Structure 1
């Protein structure tokens, strides 16, 4: 992959750097097993450095509120900047910024551009409509308006990135006057860093493609058929038909909330259950709140898994959201996801303990990433007739 620099800016690559699945980390700052959030942040920086050394594609953290101790990244800019300063190659990604009224589109772009320059062109932005009920209550967000606010916000973000020296915008929710000034600084990557949106339904995947965005989706434990429906929706949509980005992003990432790699299946199942079971329970609690809200009724489907979720071996076969196993088992799952059309795994290696995090990152970096890359370069087997 070749990059061209011009006047201090880095152009986005136009040639793909291969079809191999990418592996990334997505960290919530889970301090439930650490002495304090400060101690957990120190661990996170060491984990990010190891991931950088071992060829992981991106490191990201979301904007999360009021979920201590499992989520402590209410101001992700600080952690992203710290990771950028301690690494050399790995992308640093907002994963994701919720586009509510407390995140003005102009301020979001300024934060992205600052990180992009600080990291010399390694910044990426993922956004979200936002579905956390306590956050919506605390910031006085009307759940019935989150979709329209996100829609106007992403159009404003696109307009600003497309017109960095003259970014005035007027929409149904945001009004940004033309002040005769440009971004300071403008983005390091040109025309702008890659942009994605978080989604959890085929409708969200199709909407992302139509708006020229990559998609980071999760299956909420619904299983492989649901994954296929989300990928199909993204690929079948009329790409960038909304025309809001001059340079669209074409990308499908799958979020894994419960990944753990061990040298034996027994260790993986035992240690993985510590995270996978309570994480599913939290998804179930959230779904029970959400399915009563307009636009989130689809989340009720997770209720059907209540009778099986404590059987980790069953769950990992049902859904790659429970990605626990040996390197060979994780390779098999990654290749199956790649065949389905996913090009990146976003792994929440968080919430266990630092030793298990480092072991998982090391095993995936040393064994899984090279094997999946090798598989991508091999010619397809000839079919017999």
Structure 2
């Protein structure tokens, strides 16, 4: 049997557990028969309706927070693109036939994202394990043992929720510190030898998914030349931000004295080998000579820069690509290549957050980038950077941070 012969809608309805689908706006898109049966709702009472309209928290109990906790979990999944297994939740479920009558239930939910081809979260899978009867059976439906067990489980669930909230707040504080460190370490937008340049950094949407990407622009010694580079450190948070700062500073210094970009990356690779946390870091650097109208470049495992010619043709500079910085125990000279350009062309460097999407070949992302650059090539660097980010990044933000540098040549 092939996929085309499988009735997935029928499979969804026949699943033995409670499963519902919600949109990122927390509207029920569908629910299987078991979900409707256990929840005591008809399809018309659920599908197409907002989460809190279907299952509000009990207004008569100040401690009732099960649905608010569920909404927070679903919103985390939308923001991070990662599944979220919730602690055991107590819900007060209102009887739809008898308004004001509430039944205490215990559900253990897991929420997971569904992505489209662009890597955007388009649906949320909400799976629920019903454990109310199990809890009651431990001491009888009305026995003292049941009430004690329920109270204990509810207390433990609240403690876990409070712990999760403290962790979330700690992660948020770390994100703020990491972003501040990132901002302090990365150079501001600037004119490089009187040539227009735009720089952008967009942090990932997750609390810790931030601060691995970096960029740099430097005036080179001798002639009318500049160096433009971007890089990516594996990892997130404060540690990645610190490693990023070390690698950026090292490459900036090496570029000023190196004969070319390959030599600069050779020096950086040796340095990365003794920096904890720099494992598998990538970088690409370009030396632009405005007098000769040439770009010399070298890449250490990084996506290729794009050169937008004045006729709209987009050339990816991929003829000097080598493994990441510390990939070889005994480094060998890295390759470099050179290309020419006409005045008015545009050089674009970026990190993989701009072009990579979950479940998609990177060539698709590169094609998308080339089309955007060609379409907006007449814009100056600042509006061009904004247009590219608007078209290529998911509306809710990416799950990986993104650096972008655009220089008008």
Q: TM-score, normalized by length of structure 2?
A: 0.27
Please state which structure has a larger fraction of its residues in strand. 2
Q: Greater RCO between the two (CA within 8 Å, min separation 6)? A: 1
User: Which is greater in Rg?
Assistant: 2
Please state which structure has a larger fraction of its residues in helix. 1
